Amino acid sequence: MTDPLVRFEAVHKVFKGKTVIGEVHLQAGRGEVVALCGGNGAGKSTLIRMLAGILRPTRGTITVDGLRWEDDRKRYAQQIGYMPDDYRFSAGLTALETMLFWARLRGLGKKEARELLARVGLEDTGTKPVASFSKGMRQRVLFAQVLLAKPPLIVMDEPTNGLDPFWMESFVQHVRQAAASGQTVLFSTHQLEIAEALADRLVFLRDGHVVLNSTRDELCDQQGTASLRGQFGDLFGIPGMMNSKV
């Protein structure tokens, strides 16, 4: 990999005396799509939040395009579009009003806000408050704001939760377009089919440690025709998933 955009170097995170992330070294190249996979408590969300600048590592360094959060928080944040796993929307605000708030933070206006809502199929939501939307609709609003200003890095925590099959496919296409334009995408997921469909690089976490970090091509060479679900089962010793095929 030449000139990585994202670098985790010897990153640790300790909560209340317990190590939740231990010695993670990880890179993501420009235009690369990286999926973080693992079970509950594996450390996926903690890594995502540290990369987004919400949590700080106990030890180690995270850089985005050579920038550290500690050195220049504003410039660091400008490199990132962040989608959390959940978000409490302001009561009463419509999708357009919510998007306008985020757009103005990015120095953009109503035109861009409307265009992004149209891309996720929410241009006709009218005066309905976002707080009353279904889980899938709220996810689409969060995904729309990630795309504002076309940041070099898109960071998403379980972005497909609540999406129906149509919008799942739409999400896949949007991410592919972002990567084709040179944006780096790093996301966590427990939906292995999405990771398999999208990721150039697959990172498996267990108990806060990276136990596998391979490109999709490398995995195919190593595992033959075994699906990602089968590889996950083999790696984590889950009998029902072992030896699963595409």
The band of 230, judged by pLDDT with boundaries at 50, 70 and 90, is low
Rg (CA), the chain: 18
Q: Tell me, yes or no, whether 25 lies in a domain.
A: no
Q: Tell me, yes or no, whether 130 lies in a domain.
A: yes
Q: Tell me, yes or no, whether 21 lies in a domain.
A: no
Nearest to 62 by CA among 131, 153, 134: 153
Indicate the DSSP class of residue 181.
T
Looking at residue 241, its pLDDT comes to: 45
User: How many domains does the chain fold into?
Assistant: 1
Q: For residue range 176-229, list pLDDT tens digits in order.
A: 999 999 999 999 998 888 998 899 999 999 999 999 999 887 877 766 545 566
Q: Tell me, yes or no, whether 123 lies in a domain.
A: yes
Cα gap 45→82, rounded to integer Å: 12
**CATH for 203:** 3.40.50.300
Query: CA distances (Å), 116 to each of 96, 149, 167, 207, in order?
Result: 10, 10, 14, 37
Q: Tell me, yes or no, whether 91 lies in a domain.
A: yes
The band of 242, judged by pLDDT with boundaries at 50, 70 and 90, is very low
The band of 244, judged by pLDDT with boundaries at 50, 70 and 90, is very low
Q: Tell me, yes or no, whether 82 lies in a domain.
A: yes
The band of 131, judged by pLDDT with boundaries at 50, 70 and 90, is very high
Cα gap 63→66, rounded to integer Å: 5
Q: Could you tell me the residue range of the domain that residue 208 belongs to?
A: 30-42+73-236
Q: Tell me, yes or no, whether 198 lies in a domain.
A: yes
User: Would you put residue 207 in left (φ > 0), alpha (ψ -120 to 50) or beta?
Assistant: left
Specify the higher pLDDT residue, 37 or 126: 37
For the chain, the average pLDDT equals 89
Percent with pLDDT over 90 in the chain: 78
Instruction: Say if residues 48 and 23 touch (Cβ distance below 8 Å).
Output: no
Query: CA distances (Å), 230 to each of 190, 196, 233, 234, in order?
Result: 14, 12, 5, 6
Helices and strands, counts by H and E, the chain = 9, 9
Would you call 35 helix, strand, or coil by DSSP?
strand
Q: For residue range 150-166, list pLDDT tens digits in order.
A: 999 999 999 999 999 99
Lowest mean pLDDT among 71-80, 100-109, 126-135, 212-221: 212-221
Q: Tell me, yes or no, whether 246 lies in a domain.
A: no
Q: For residue range 16-55, list pLDDT tens digits in order.
A: 999 999 999 999 999 999 999 998 899 999 999 999 999 9
Specify the higher pLDDT residue, 35 or 232: 35
The band of 237, judged by pLDDT with boundaries at 50, 70 and 90, is low
The band of 233, judged by pLDDT with boundaries at 50, 70 and 90, is low
